[in-house]
Amino acid sequence: MSKAATLDPQDKVRAEVSKTYARAIERTKSDSAGCCGQTSCCGSKAETANVESIGYSVDEVAALPADAVVSSFGCGNPLAFSGVKEGETVLDLGSGAGMDLLIARTRVGESGRVIGIDMTDAMIARARMNIAAKGYTNVEVRKGIIEKMPVDSGTVDWVISNCVINLSPDKPRVFAEIARVLKPGGQMSVSDIVAKDLPWWARRSMAMYASCVGGAISEEAYIAGLQQAGLTNVRVKERQIYDRDQIDAFAKSMVPKFVTGPLRPLQGIVTRIVSRYAAKIAGKVWSAKFVAEKEG
Ligand SMILES: C[S@@+](CC[C@H](N)C(=O)[O-])C[C@H]1O[C@@H](n2cnc3c(N)ncnc32)[C@H](O)[C@@H]1O
Protein backbone atom coordinates (compact mmCIF):
# COMPACT_ATOMS: atom_id res chain seq x y z
CA MET A 1 0.00 0.00 0.00
CA SER A 2 1.32 3.51 -0.78
CA LYS A 3 2.28 5.82 2.07
CA ALA A 4 -0.49 8.30 1.14
CA ALA A 5 -3.10 5.54 1.36
CA THR A 6 -2.10 4.72 4.95
CA LEU A 7 -2.18 8.32 6.21
CA ASP A 8 -5.10 9.35 8.39
CA PRO A 9 -7.41 11.94 6.77
CA GLN A 10 -5.90 14.89 8.68
CA ASP A 11 -2.35 13.85 7.81
CA LYS A 12 -3.44 13.57 4.20
CA VAL A 13 -4.70 17.16 4.21
CA ARG A 14 -1.47 18.37 5.82
CA ALA A 15 0.60 16.42 3.27
CA GLU A 16 -1.29 18.05 0.38
CA VAL A 17 -0.93 21.52 1.90
CA SER A 18 2.76 20.96 2.53
CA LYS A 19 3.34 19.77 -1.04
CA THR A 20 1.61 22.89 -2.36
CA TYR A 21 3.76 25.25 -0.28
CA ALA A 22 6.97 23.34 -1.05
CA ARG A 23 6.25 23.86 -4.76
CA ALA A 24 5.29 27.48 -4.20
CA ILE A 25 8.46 28.34 -2.29
CA GLU A 26 10.65 26.66 -4.89
CA ARG A 27 9.02 28.86 -7.47
CA THR A 28 9.86 32.07 -5.56
CA LYS A 29 13.50 30.91 -5.42
CA SER A 30 13.75 30.79 -9.19
CA ASP A 31 12.10 34.22 -9.36
CA SER A 32 14.59 35.85 -7.00
CA ALA A 33 17.46 34.05 -8.72
CA GLY A 34 16.17 35.60 -11.94
CA CYS A 35 16.33 38.93 -10.16
CA CYS A 36 19.95 38.81 -9.08
CA GLY A 37 20.47 35.52 -7.32
CA GLN A 38 21.15 37.02 -3.88
CA THR A 39 19.13 37.16 -0.71
CA SER A 40 19.18 40.86 -0.01
CA CYS A 41 19.25 43.06 -3.03
CA CYS A 42 16.44 43.99 -5.38
CA GLY A 43 13.13 43.17 -3.69
CA SER A 44 10.57 43.15 -6.48
CA LYS A 45 8.53 46.35 -6.35
CA ALA A 46 5.33 44.38 -6.98
CA GLU A 47 5.93 42.09 -4.00
CA THR A 48 6.92 45.01 -1.77
CA ALA A 49 3.72 46.80 -2.74
CA ASN A 50 1.76 43.61 -1.99
CA VAL A 51 3.05 43.31 1.56
CA GLU A 52 2.52 47.03 2.17
CA SER A 53 -1.08 46.62 1.06
CA ILE A 54 -1.63 44.00 3.77
CA GLY A 55 -0.33 46.16 6.61
CA TYR A 56 3.48 46.22 6.68
CA SER A 57 5.26 49.57 6.83
CA VAL A 58 7.76 50.74 4.22
CA ASP A 59 10.54 50.85 6.84
CA GLU A 60 9.77 47.38 8.15
CA VAL A 61 9.93 45.87 4.66
CA ALA A 62 13.03 47.82 3.62
CA ALA A 63 15.03 46.30 6.48
CA LEU A 64 14.33 42.70 5.40
CA PRO A 65 16.21 40.41 3.01
CA ALA A 66 14.44 40.66 -0.36
CA ASP A 67 13.88 36.92 -0.35
CA ALA A 68 11.82 37.06 2.85
CA VAL A 69 9.53 39.61 1.20
CA VAL A 70 9.05 37.86 -2.15
CA SER A 71 8.49 34.56 -0.33
CA SER A 72 5.73 35.89 1.91
CA PHE A 73 2.34 34.18 1.70
CA GLY A 74 0.61 36.17 4.43
CA CYS A 75 -2.75 37.95 4.50
CA GLY A 76 -2.08 40.63 7.12
CA ASN A 77 0.57 41.82 9.56
CA PRO A 78 0.04 40.02 12.89
CA LEU A 79 2.68 42.15 14.58
CA ALA A 80 1.15 45.53 13.68
CA PHE A 81 -0.05 47.21 16.89
CA SER A 82 0.74 44.00 18.81
CA GLY A 83 2.72 45.55 21.66
CA VAL A 84 5.51 42.93 21.56
CA LYS A 85 8.30 44.19 23.82
CA GLU A 86 12.05 43.81 24.16
CA GLY A 87 13.08 40.60 25.90
CA GLU A 88 9.83 38.70 25.17
CA THR A 89 9.38 35.30 23.49
CA VAL A 90 7.33 35.22 20.27
CA LEU A 91 6.07 32.02 18.63
CA ASP A 92 5.01 32.15 14.94
CA LEU A 93 2.71 29.32 13.80
CA GLY A 94 3.39 28.31 10.18
CA SER A 95 6.35 30.66 9.89
CA GLY A 96 6.94 30.03 6.16
CA ALA A 97 10.00 31.79 4.75
CA GLY A 98 10.39 33.83 7.92
CA MET A 99 9.25 37.40 7.21
CA ASP A 100 7.30 37.73 10.48
CA LEU A 101 10.08 35.99 12.43
CA LEU A 102 12.51 38.68 11.32
CA ILE A 103 10.10 41.50 12.13
CA ALA A 104 9.40 39.94 15.55
CA ARG A 105 13.16 39.88 16.17
CA THR A 106 13.32 43.66 15.64
CA ARG A 107 10.75 43.99 18.45
CA VAL A 108 12.22 41.55 21.00
CA GLY A 109 15.84 42.58 20.41
CA GLU A 110 18.88 40.59 21.48
CA SER A 111 17.48 39.67 24.86
CA GLY A 112 14.28 38.15 23.49
CA ARG A 113 13.58 34.99 21.56
CA VAL A 114 11.67 34.16 18.37
CA ILE A 115 10.54 30.64 17.47
CA GLY A 116 8.82 29.54 14.26
CA ILE A 117 7.03 26.26 13.61
CA ASP A 118 6.47 24.88 10.14
CA MET A 119 5.91 21.42 8.68
CA THR A 120 7.36 22.04 5.20
CA ASP A 121 11.08 21.33 4.81
CA ALA A 122 11.56 23.73 1.89
CA MET A 123 9.93 26.56 3.88
CA ILE A 124 12.06 25.81 6.94
CA ALA A 125 15.23 25.84 4.83
CA ARG A 126 14.26 29.19 3.31
CA ALA A 127 13.45 30.73 6.69
CA ARG A 128 16.79 29.55 8.07
CA MET A 129 18.56 31.11 5.10
CA ASN A 130 16.79 34.43 5.71
CA ILE A 131 17.54 34.31 9.44
CA ALA A 132 21.22 33.63 8.67
CA ALA A 133 21.24 36.54 6.18
CA LYS A 134 20.35 38.85 9.10
CA GLY A 135 22.87 37.13 11.42
CA TYR A 136 20.27 36.56 14.14
CA THR A 137 21.20 33.94 16.73
CA ASN A 138 18.04 34.10 18.84
CA VAL A 139 15.61 33.21 16.03
CA GLU A 140 14.95 29.55 15.26
CA VAL A 141 12.54 27.40 13.25
CA ARG A 142 11.34 24.04 14.55
CA LYS A 143 9.87 21.40 12.30
CA GLY A 144 6.45 20.30 13.49
CA ILE A 145 2.73 20.70 13.17
CA ILE A 146 0.71 23.40 14.84
CA GLU A 147 -1.78 20.81 16.12
CA LYS A 148 1.03 19.40 18.30
CA MET A 149 3.50 22.19 18.81
CA PRO A 150 7.11 21.29 19.66
CA VAL A 151 7.09 23.93 22.42
CA ASP A 152 6.96 23.61 26.23
CA SER A 153 3.79 24.65 28.04
CA GLY A 154 3.57 28.18 29.46
CA THR A 155 6.77 29.48 27.86
CA VAL A 156 5.61 32.01 25.25
CA ASP A 157 4.63 35.69 25.68
CA TRP A 158 3.10 36.08 22.20
CA VAL A 159 1.66 33.65 19.69
CA ILE A 160 1.46 35.13 16.21
CA SER A 161 0.45 33.56 12.90
CA ASN A 162 -0.19 34.74 9.38
CA CYS A 163 -2.62 32.96 7.08
CA VAL A 164 -2.04 29.46 8.46
CA ILE A 165 -4.71 28.28 10.90
CA ASN A 166 -7.30 28.20 8.08
CA LEU A 167 -5.13 25.42 6.58
CA SER A 168 -5.38 23.22 9.66
CA PRO A 169 -7.69 20.20 9.47
CA ASP A 170 -8.08 20.34 13.29
CA LYS A 171 -8.57 23.95 14.37
CA PRO A 172 -9.86 23.20 17.91
CA ARG A 173 -6.58 21.35 18.55
CA VAL A 174 -4.59 24.39 17.32
CA PHE A 175 -6.58 26.73 19.59
CA ALA A 176 -5.96 24.39 22.56
CA GLU A 177 -2.24 24.33 21.76
CA ILE A 178 -2.11 28.15 21.66
CA ALA A 179 -3.64 28.22 25.15
CA ARG A 180 -1.16 25.58 26.35
CA VAL A 181 2.06 27.26 25.17
CA LEU A 182 1.16 30.81 26.28
CA LYS A 183 2.42 32.01 29.65
CA PRO A 184 -0.29 33.21 32.03
CA GLY A 185 -0.94 36.78 30.81
CA GLY A 186 0.46 35.92 27.36
CA GLN A 187 -1.27 37.20 24.24
CA MET A 188 -2.19 36.08 20.75
CA SER A 189 -2.28 38.20 17.58
CA VAL A 190 -3.22 36.24 14.47
CA SER A 191 -4.03 37.34 10.91
CA ASP A 192 -6.05 34.76 9.06
CA ILE A 193 -8.60 34.19 6.34
CA VAL A 194 -12.23 33.68 7.36
CA ALA A 195 -15.22 32.89 5.16
CA LYS A 196 -18.98 32.70 5.23
CA ASP A 197 -21.50 31.12 2.83
CA LEU A 198 -18.88 29.79 0.45
CA PRO A 199 -20.26 27.87 -2.54
CA TRP A 200 -19.95 24.08 -2.27
CA TRP A 201 -17.26 23.82 -4.92
CA ALA A 202 -15.00 26.12 -2.91
CA ARG A 203 -15.30 23.73 0.05
CA ARG A 204 -14.68 20.59 -2.02
CA SER A 205 -11.58 21.58 -3.97
CA MET A 206 -8.11 20.86 -2.53
CA ALA A 207 -6.73 23.74 -4.61
CA MET A 208 -9.14 26.14 -2.87
CA TYR A 209 -8.23 24.61 0.49
CA ALA A 210 -4.49 25.04 -0.09
CA SER A 211 -5.13 28.61 -1.30
CA CYS A 212 -6.41 29.47 2.20
CA VAL A 213 -10.09 29.66 1.18
CA GLY A 214 -11.65 26.17 1.31
CA GLY A 215 -10.73 25.49 4.96
CA ALA A 216 -11.52 28.97 6.28
CA ILE A 217 -14.16 29.11 9.05
CA SER A 218 -16.41 32.03 10.03
CA GLU A 219 -15.34 34.78 12.42
CA GLU A 220 -17.94 33.53 14.91
CA ALA A 221 -16.57 29.96 14.82
CA TYR A 222 -13.01 31.29 15.20
CA ILE A 223 -13.92 33.37 18.25
CA ALA A 224 -15.92 30.52 19.81
CA GLY A 225 -13.01 28.10 19.21
CA LEU A 226 -10.53 30.39 20.96
CA GLN A 227 -12.93 30.93 23.87
CA GLN A 228 -13.55 27.19 24.23
CA ALA A 229 -9.78 26.73 24.44
CA GLY A 230 -9.88 28.98 27.53
CA LEU A 231 -8.59 32.22 26.02
CA THR A 232 -10.17 35.49 27.12
CA ASN A 233 -10.79 38.94 25.68
CA VAL A 234 -11.08 37.34 22.24
CA ARG A 235 -11.96 39.82 19.53
CA VAL A 236 -11.42 40.87 15.93
CA LYS A 237 -9.21 43.95 15.82
CA GLU A 238 -9.40 44.69 12.10
CA ARG A 239 -10.68 43.10 8.92
CA GLN A 240 -10.23 43.52 5.21
CA ILE A 241 -13.16 42.19 3.20
CA TYR A 242 -12.06 41.29 -0.30
CA ASP A 243 -14.17 42.72 -3.11
CA ARG A 244 -14.32 41.26 -6.58
CA ASP A 245 -11.25 43.15 -7.88
CA GLN A 246 -9.13 42.20 -4.85
CA ILE A 247 -10.09 38.51 -5.04
CA ASP A 248 -9.38 38.58 -8.75
CA ALA A 249 -5.97 40.23 -8.27
CA PHE A 250 -5.11 37.83 -5.43
CA ALA A 251 -6.15 34.77 -7.46
CA LYS A 252 -4.15 35.97 -10.45
CA SER A 253 -1.07 36.61 -8.32
CA MET A 254 -1.30 33.06 -6.96
CA VAL A 255 -1.49 31.32 -10.34
CA PRO A 256 2.22 31.79 -11.21
CA LYS A 257 3.13 30.59 -7.70
CA PHE A 258 1.16 27.35 -7.98
CA VAL A 259 0.96 26.53 -11.70
CA THR A 260 4.64 25.88 -12.29
CA GLY A 261 7.07 23.53 -14.01
CA PRO A 262 5.54 21.55 -16.88
CA LEU A 263 2.16 23.21 -16.16
CA ARG A 264 3.53 26.70 -16.74
CA PRO A 265 2.17 26.96 -20.35
CA LEU A 266 -1.31 26.56 -18.85
CA GLN A 267 -1.01 29.68 -16.67
CA GLY A 268 -3.06 31.85 -19.05
CA ILE A 269 -6.01 29.49 -19.22
CA VAL A 270 -5.87 28.74 -15.47
CA THR A 271 -5.86 32.49 -14.75
CA ARG A 272 -9.03 32.94 -16.82
CA ILE A 273 -10.79 30.03 -15.07
CA VAL A 274 -9.64 31.15 -11.62
CA SER A 275 -10.83 34.71 -12.34
CA ARG A 276 -14.31 33.49 -13.24
CA TYR A 277 -14.63 31.48 -10.02
CA ALA A 278 -12.97 34.17 -7.89
CA ALA A 279 -15.82 36.56 -8.77
CA LYS A 280 -18.28 34.12 -7.18
CA ILE A 281 -16.68 34.30 -3.74
CA ALA A 282 -16.25 38.10 -3.59
CA GLY A 283 -17.52 39.48 -0.27
CA LYS A 284 -17.60 35.98 1.25
CA VAL A 285 -13.92 35.78 2.20
CA TRP A 286 -11.90 38.21 4.26
CA SER A 287 -8.74 38.65 6.27
CA ALA A 288 -9.29 39.22 9.99
CA LYS A 289 -6.90 39.96 12.83
CA PHE A 290 -7.84 38.04 15.97
CA VAL A 291 -6.44 38.95 19.37
CA ALA A 292 -6.83 37.05 22.64
CA GLU A 293 -5.19 36.60 26.04
CA LYS A 294 -4.47 33.85 28.49
CA GLU A 295 -5.59 34.85 31.96
CA GLY A 296 -2.64 35.88 34.12
C1 LIG B 1 0.06 30.51 3.54
S2 LIG B 1 1.67 30.02 4.09
C3 LIG B 1 2.01 31.35 5.25
C4 LIG B 1 3.47 31.43 5.60
C5 LIG B 1 3.88 32.61 6.47
N6 LIG B 1 3.12 32.67 7.69
C7 LIG B 1 3.77 33.91 5.70
O8 LIG B 1 3.05 34.82 6.16
O9 LIG B 1 4.40 34.03 4.65
C10 LIG B 1 1.29 28.65 5.16
C11 LIG B 1 2.50 28.05 5.86
O12 LIG B 1 2.02 27.28 6.97
C13 LIG B 1 2.58 25.98 6.97
N14 LIG B 1 1.56 25.09 7.52
C15 LIG B 1 0.31 24.90 7.07
N16 LIG B 1 -0.37 24.05 7.85
C17 LIG B 1 0.47 23.69 8.85
C18 LIG B 1 0.37 22.83 9.97
N19 LIG B 1 -0.77 22.18 10.22
N20 LIG B 1 1.43 22.69 10.80
C21 LIG B 1 2.60 23.36 10.52
N22 LIG B 1 2.77 24.17 9.46
C23 LIG B 1 1.71 24.36 8.63
C24 LIG B 1 2.94 25.72 5.50
O25 LIG B 1 3.99 24.79 5.40
C26 LIG B 1 3.33 27.10 5.01
O27 LIG B 1 4.69 27.37 5.22
Question: Which range, of 29-33, 72-76, 244-248, averages the lowest pLDDT?
Answer: 29-33
Q: What is the distance between the alpha carbons of residues 173 and 9, in angstroms, rounded to a whole number? A: 15
* 130 close to 68: Cβ distance less than 8 angstroms: yes
The sign of the CA dihedral 25, 29, 35, 38 is: positive
Question: If you measure from the C-alpha of residue 95 to the centroid of ligand 1, how many angstroms do you get, rounded to a whole number?
Answer: 6
Query: pTM for the whole thing?
Result: 0.89
Q: Atom 23 of ligand 1 has which residue's CA nearest to it?
A: 94
Ordered domains of the chain (ranges, CATH): 3-293 (3.40.50.150)
Residues with CB under 6 A from ligand 1: 14, 17-18, 21, 72-74, 94-96, 99-100, 117-120, 123, 145-147, 162-164, 167-168, 212
Probe residue for ligand 1, chosen from 25, 121, 164 as the CB with the greatest number of ligand atoms within 8 Å:
164
Digit-coded pLDDT (tens) for 88-126: 999 999 999 999 999 999 999 999 999 999 999 999 999
pLDDT confidence bin for 2, thresholds 50/70/90: low
Q: Once rounded to an integer, what is the mean pLDDT over residues 21-28?
A: 87
User: To test ligand 1's pocket by mutation, which of 72, 118, 212 has the most ligand atoms within 8 angstroms of CB?
Assistant: 118
Q: Report the pLDDT value the prediction gives residue 45, as an integer from 0 to 100.
A: 46
The band of 228, judged by pLDDT with boundaries at 50, 70 and 90, is: very high
Nearest residue (CA) to ligand 1, atom 27: 96
Residue 124 Cα to ligand 1 middle (Å): 10
Ligand 1 centroid vs 212 CA: distance in angstroms? 10
- Parallel, antiparallel or unpaired: strands 113-118 and 89-93: parallel
